[in-house]
Structure 1
Amino acid sequence: MHQYLGRLLLCSLSLLSTISLASVPHSKIHVYTEDFPPYQEFMGPGKIGGVATELVKALFEHSNIDYKIHVLPWFRTSHIVNNTPNTFIYSLARTQEREEHYRWIAPLCEVNVSFYKLKARKDIIIHDIEDVRQYIVAVASGQPTEQHLVELGFSQDDNLVILASHQQGAQMLNKARVDLLYGADLFVKNVQQSLGRAGEWEKVYVSPHLSKRMYLAANINSDEALVSKLRHNFNALNSQLNTSVRCEQAVRDH
């Protein structure tokens, strides 16, 4: 009788294990990102490049997971992933505010966030965040930059302008309608180049709070087996990826 019950228990555990593994989605996994060279770059319909994209592709392919990457504006990207289990997002800065809202899968490149002014504005002098409060700052809506400044007490009634994109902030900076532009260094560099204003802006203060490592992350309610599989395969693959070296080289070449 005891042997029979033992076999029955083993069979039950085996069945539960099979069910757990079967819970990993077999349909295509959807991964969302934005155009942010050289980390991720839209290169035409169905063509997505960039060093972070290469790292994400390597991980999913090594894990034998069928996936598709979508390039959308950041607001749409984050909205979809925040509301859809088993979806993924990159490159997402890992901040304290976001820590409990995502499943963090794999570290990618680092990003620095800074305040910029027009070089011609010799009247603007910044030594620390307290100096920044004297000036009007433009930020892109939905970004950690906006949240960070609001938490520090910056206000739209006083010294903060929240816009739909970094491009709008850049145009206001060029027209001296704002004093400072706050954003990721590469975002700012890309916008400068797209507007033909390279070399006309100057970095005045690096934000230590938001200069972070970016990640591949998943919706908080994603399947545990799927998340564990990707984390395990990243650890196995990590030494081959040379993430830091590849990221640094991509930034230098950009």
Structure 2
Amino acid sequence: MRNWLLLLLLILALPTHVQAGLDKLRFITEEYPPYNYVQNGKLQGIALELLERAFAFEGRQLDRGSVEILPWARGYETVLNTPNSVLFSTTRTSAREELFHWVGPISADRVVLMARKSSAIQIDSIDALNQSNLRIAVIHEDIGAQRLRELGVDPSRIITALNNTTALAMLEANRVDMWAYSEDVAYWLMDTHGYDRNAFEDVYILNEAYLYFALNPKTDPELTAKLQTAVNKASAEVPSLKFVTEEYPPTITLMKKVKYGERQLSC
């Protein structure tokens, strides 16, 4: 009897490995429609639904209420310094490559300089941009702001807006000449906030890349691999997901974006 008790105690003392699930990750996002945004008090969007389906493939349910919504710069800084944290939707670039581990892709994305058509702005090169005195709205630490910095644009001409809707309002009111931002997101905001999209145009492409889930590099590798596997499975079922419908105006579908993403994109 004593031997059995000793054996039981030894078994109980042995280290046990409990498989970590995706719910051990801390997910952080921002207002970046149609990929991730709040409507009627509910977080939704293309990236969120992809994440939700990824959780389902792991046999778990994503609690949308657990996803933190922060201003972009704050979320970016938080994930840079917090293991097991994830920021989405994040443009993957060469400058950011070593700062995060990457899971995805979620979608292709193009960052442009947007201007009012009435301003008749023409930018055909970076040199022409740098030699001008045009004012450009950006979001702090957004890919548009980072690209302008990398290209050596005079910081005195870069105007940091509080958020994307503020930047759009500044552009419409002629407080800035251009806005450096995602083309799709900019047009989505115009369509959903009462602006005439035909009054604006892209005048220069700053970056073409992909949106990803960006993970702190000290995140548990097992969790990173699990998320990538689950996202792969979810992406493979794109035709069955409701975000290929007209739920997200204007009609931006993941199928369309994947097709767009088949082009050779540069980071």
Does the TM-score normalized on the shorter chain lie above 0.5?
A: yes
AA aligned opposite 2:110? N
> Alpha carbons of 1:222 and 1:201: their partners in 2 closer, same or farther (altered >3 Å)?
same
> Alpha carbons of 1:185 and 1:247: their partners in 2 closer, same or farther (altered >3 Å)?
farther
AA aligned opposite 2:30? E
Name the CA distance, whole Å, in 2 between partners of 1:116 and 1:105: 29
1:43 aligned residue: 39
- C-alpha contact 2:139 2:145 (8 A) present in aligned 1: yes
RMSD value, Cα: 3.0
Asked if residue 225 in structure 1 is aligned to residue 222 in structure 2, the reply is yes
Would you identify which runs of 4 or more consecutive aligned residues in structure 1 move more than 4 Å?
25-28, 242-252
1:129 aligned residue: 126
Q: Secondary structure at the match of 2:155?
A: coil
Name the CA distance, whole Å, in 2 between partners of 1:106 and 1:243: 18
Q: Deviations over 1:22-59 (max 9, x none)?
A: 373686532111122221231344x3222221111111
Name the CA distance, whole Å, in 2 between partners of 1:37 and 1:80: 21
Q: Secondary structure at the match of 2:171?
A: helix
> Alpha carbons of 1:229 and 1:177: their partners in 2 closer, same or farther (altered >3 Å)?
closer
Asked if residue 90 in structure 1 is aligned to residue 88 in structure 2, the reply is yes
Name the CA distance, whole Å, in 1 between partners of 2:158 and 2:185: 19
Runs of 5+ unmatched residues, structure 2: 1-13, 253-267
Name the CA distance, whole Å, in 2 between partners of 1:229 and 1:100: 20
1:149 aligned residue: 148
Instruction: Give the paired residue count.
Output: 232
Name the CA distance, whole Å, in 2 between partners of 1:102 and 1:243: 30
Runs of 5+ unmatched residues, structure 1: 1-14
Q: Secondary structure at the match of 2:119?
A: coil
> Alpha carbons of 1:178 and 1:252: their partners in 2 closer, same or farther (altered >3 Å)?
closer
1:34 aligned residue: 30
Name the CA distance, whole Å, in 2 between partners of 1:37 and 1:172: 19
> Alpha carbons of 1:77 and 1:154: their partners in 2 closer, same or farther (altered >3 Å)?
same
Give the CA deviation at 1:162.
2.5
Q: Deviations over 1:137-158 (max 9, x none)?
A: 221111121121112111223x
Name the CA distance, whole Å, in 2 between partners of 1:230 and 1:66: 13
2:169 aligned residue: 171
TM-score, structure 2 normalization:
0.74
AA aligned opposite 1:214? L
1:110 aligned residue: 108
- C-alpha contact 1:115 1:181 (8 A) present in aligned 2: yes
TM-score, structure 1 normalization:
0.78
Name the CA distance, whole Å, in 2 between partners of 1:70 and 1:246: 21
Q: Deviations over 1:186-223 (max 9, x none)?
A: 3322443455332222211222xx22110122211111
Q: Secondary structure at the match of 1:112?
A: strand
- C-alpha contact 2:34 2:188 (8 A) present in aligned 1: no
1:187 aligned residue: 185
Name the CA distance, whole Å, in 2 between partners of 1:214 and 1:193: 22
- C-alpha contact 2:22 2:55 (8 A) present in aligned 1: no
Name the CA distance, whole Å, in 1 between partners of 2:192 and 2:245: 22
AA aligned opposite 1:130? D
